[in-house]
Amino acid sequence: MRRRSVPGKGRRGFDPVRLTVFEELFAGLAEDMGEVLRLTAPSVNIRERRDFSCAVFDAGGGLVGQAAHIPVHLGSASLSVRAVRERFPDLRDGEVVLLNDPHAGGTHLPDLTLVTAVEVSPGVRWSVVNRAHHADVGGSRPGSMGTAGDLCAEGLRIPPVLLHGPGGWSEDVLALVLANTRTPAQRFGDLRAQVEANRYGAERLKFLFASQGAGACIEAVAALREKAERALLGFTRSLRHGRHRSHGILEGDGILEEDLELRLELVVSRSGRLTFDFRGSCDQTPGSLNANPAVVRAAVLYALSAAAGRGLPPQAFEGGILRILTREGSLLEPRFPAACAGGNVETSQRLVDLCLEALGRAGAEVPAESAGTMNNLSFGGRDPAGRPFAYYETLGGGAGAGPWGPGGAAVQTHMTNTRNTPIEECERNLPLVLERCEILRNSGGRGRHRGGEGMRRAYRFLVPVEVTLLADRRTHPPKGRKGGRPGRPGRQYVLAGGRRRPFPSKGSRRLEVGEVLVLETPAGGGYGRP
């Protein structure tokens, strides 16, 4: 049956070659924004680990193009744009809004999002957006990633506020933000880099409209959305219709020790429409693993993109093919003031496992489970000169093997797309010595294709520090698929005085001079019978 054109969503007559050029122009603009941010930010977390994302949105708040950055950032950014438009419906060209509020499209408090209005033609305003993880935004623990009992203890919560405009900084807002961090100079440097990245993106976007014409740019976006919808329907209609269930576990929240259950029922209709129903998941928890609907949405979009393979444009999720259901008061739609630092980084990873498992049951080709945790490490104290410092990084683990081959070793998987921090950067900027950084050989799950191996990293501290770890997959290892064996779970411990003592996977401890923290990350599951 011939598919009818969707009114208002593009025209079939748009030249396909020129459409591909526009697609690359929009994506390339976001990529270049990211390069400006990376090259100008002072923090190791942004400059080296590349913990940031950039995207472009149209006048209706729909996604136009994004860079290949971090899935948990990008899949939720549209909700931030929506929150900004609701708060500032008449935002002027060049004005920049800052937010991190998980109840206004944010993910967790360290992720500071900047939305800049761009008047691409008279009366038509698009937005350029970047989101970057700041190493400290206040709260009870250095690094702002501790197991706090509520959102207010995790750091400074920022609803959409005007940060910068054609006349410069909003000095009161900037002063408030910098007064609530242990490292104000670094925070200002990173914010300034974010402002400049959006300024660059705005200039590029205006040039694109001027050179190609406003009508052509808007028509290209409509055509891209129609193309994306066809691609998504092509994938969803290949799935087995019916109900497909999956179940996952989070290993406590740092306050409660019992496992937290996540449940998904994926409903595939005969027409190819999908419903991801998470309402059977457990109630919200007092610890930080609560994930807001923006994070849930990001995990679903990423899993669909991964299962569909290459060729699924990011604009595919702007239509009505997809529905996501959560329950108010649950771990995935918590009520204020639930803590949420770990929901963005840990719960999101487990949601991907659930989505991929359910899609696999529906007939999609999916890999074994990957490490399933970002192994979030943060610490802080005072350097030998007495200056306060705070640091944050995530550690890679093993990727799950698939029908196409073995999983990668010591890589950032799924909802994170960052890099491991170079040893030289750590030792140059922090009072520590990295004694080990190595692959855990033979830790991947056995199978026809073996799971990727985890990694070991050992930190010897040269000053007293408060260390916080937020990690998972320590007792429930990543599962294999199609008869493959599970990967080795992670572990962590402290070496001091020739003795080894345990360190919690979710919690904080003070370490003294000379003590060594050792982290071993989980490995990926194997694929197929050995």
Rounded Cα distance, 21 and 39, in Å: 26
pLDDT at residue 2 greater than cutoff 50: no
Task: Give the pLDDT score at 4.
Answer: 35
Report which of residues 227 and 354 the model is more confident about.
354
| Exposure letters 59-92 (e unless 16+ CB within 10 A, then b) | bebbbbbbbebbbbbbbbbbbbbbbbbeebeebe
Every domain of the chain and the residues it spans: 16-228, 367-530
List, for residues 145-197, the tens digit of each pLDDT value: 988 889 999 999 999 999 999 899 999 999 999 999 999 999 999 999 999 99
Per-residue pLDDT reduced to its tens digit, 115-154: 999 999 999 999 999 999 999 999 999 999 988 889 999 9
Residue % of the chain over a pLDDT of 90? 85
**Rg of the Cα trace of the chain?**
23
- Spatial separation of the C-alpha atoms in residues 468 and 459, rounded to whole Å: 13
Q: Report which DSSP code applies to 383.
A: -
Q: Which two tokens stand for residue 345?
A: 């980084």
Residue 10 has pLDDT above 70, yes or no: no
Q: Kindly tell me the sign of the dihedral angle through the C-alpha atoms of 487, 350, 504, 427.
A: positive
User: At residue 9, does pLDDT exceed 70?
Assistant: no
Query: Is pLDDT above 60 for 3?
Result: no
CA dist 527 and 190 (Å) reads 42
Helix (H), strand (E) at residue 10: none
Detail the DSSP E strand segments found in 107-149.
111-121, 124-133
Dihedral sign, Cα of residue 380, residue 383, residue 386, residue 391 = negative
Residue whose token pair is 């025209």: 11
Start-to-end C-alpha separation, the chain: 45
What does the DSSP 8-state code read for residue 218? H
Give dist(CA 482, CA 485) in Å, integer.
9
Question: What CA–CA distance (Å, rounded) separates 202 from 95?
Answer: 11
What is the per-residue pLDDT for 72? 76
Angle between helices 214-236 and 16-40 (to 10 degrees): 100
Look at residues 341, 392, 459 and name the one whose alpha carbon lies nearest to residue 186.
392
pLDDT of residue 13: 56
Specify whether the CB–CB gap between 450 and 530 falls below 8 A: no
pLDDT-derived band at 67, boundaries 50, 70, 90:
confident
Question: What average pLDDT does the segment 451-476 reach?
Answer: 98
